[in-house]
Structure 1
Amino acid sequence: MEKYFHHNDRLGIQLPSIDKEWDSLPEDARQSILLHWERIRGMIPDRIHDLEKCINTKQEQLNNEADFERSCQLNSEIADLASTINDLWLWFRTKQDVTEKMHM
């Protein structure tokens, strides 16, 4: 599956990366890709949960932070984590149109 997926460091999961037309792939390869994607999809909620825990920790730090620059840094980190969660939810919802996403 390594030639059909690549690890995305920001999201912490593998994403589809297919450089061929979906219909040109053999049927067994398409089925393997879809099965692999479903396994990855199944891990997304756990990844989101871990990121939410990080956000909660940073929000607690922010609540107790007196230094303005550090507060700004924490806010930025929280926003980045929230953006990552949003992107993970988009990928999680990708099921029926998974083949279209794989061409991206």
Structure 2
Amino acid sequence: MEKYFVYDQRLDLHVPLKTIPWEKLSNDETKAIEVFWETERGKIPTKIKSLDQKMERIQEYLSKEESFKKACEWNDALSNLASIVNDLWLWYRIR
């Protein structure tokens, strides 16, 4: 599947390459690609749930944080996780 997918380390997920030449693929190849993608896509809700739990913990820490510098670090971590969740939702909607 390396010809059709690339591993996205940030998302911890194999995502389809944008240049899959569907019209040049055999039925077996398209079926294998679809099965592989559905397997990867099926991992997304669990990943999102885990990230949401991390975000909730960070929000708890942030609500108690008194150091401005540390609060900025927590906010940065929170925005990075939210960005990943957003990207995962976008990939989840692609069939």
Amino acid corresponding to residue 39 of structure 1 in structure 2: T
- Where do 1:53-68 residues align within 5 Å? 53-68=53-68
> Percent of aligned positions with the same letter in both sequences?
39
Identify if the C-alpha distance between structure 1 residues 29 and 18 changes in structure 2 by more than 3 Å, giving closer, same or farther. Answer: farther
For residues 48-91 of structure 1, the C-alpha deviation after alignment (integer angstroms, 9 at most, x for no partner) is 00111110111111112111011011111101111111111111
State the alpha-carbon separation in 2 of the partners of residues 71 and 30 from structure 1: 48
In structure 2, the residue matched to 1:80 is 80
Residue ranges of structure 1 left out of the alignment (5+ in a row): 96-104
In structure 2, the residue matched to 1:16 is 16
Number of equivalences? 95
Question: Cα offset for 1:25?
Answer: 1.4
For residues 14-59 of structure 1, the C-alpha deviation after alignment (integer angstroms, 9 at most, x for no partner) is 1012644211112211110001101111110000001111101111
Residue ranges of structure 2 left out of the alignment (5+ in a row): none
Q: Which runs of 4+ in 1 moved over 3 A?
A: none
For residue 65 of structure 2, give the secondary structure of its aligned residue in structure 1. Answer: coil
State the alpha-carbon separation in 2 of the partners of residues 85 and 3 from structure 1: 26
In structure 1, the residue matched to 2:7 is 7
RMSD: 1.2
- Where do 1:22-61 residues align within 5 Å? 22-61=22-61
State the alpha-carbon separation in 2 of the partners of residues 90 and 20 from structure 1: 18
Amino acid corresponding to residue 14 of structure 2 in structure 1: Q
**Structure showing greater relative contact order (alpha-carbon pairs closer than 8 Å, 6 or more residues apart):** 1
State the alpha-carbon separation in 2 of the partners of residues 21 and 39 from structure 1: 21
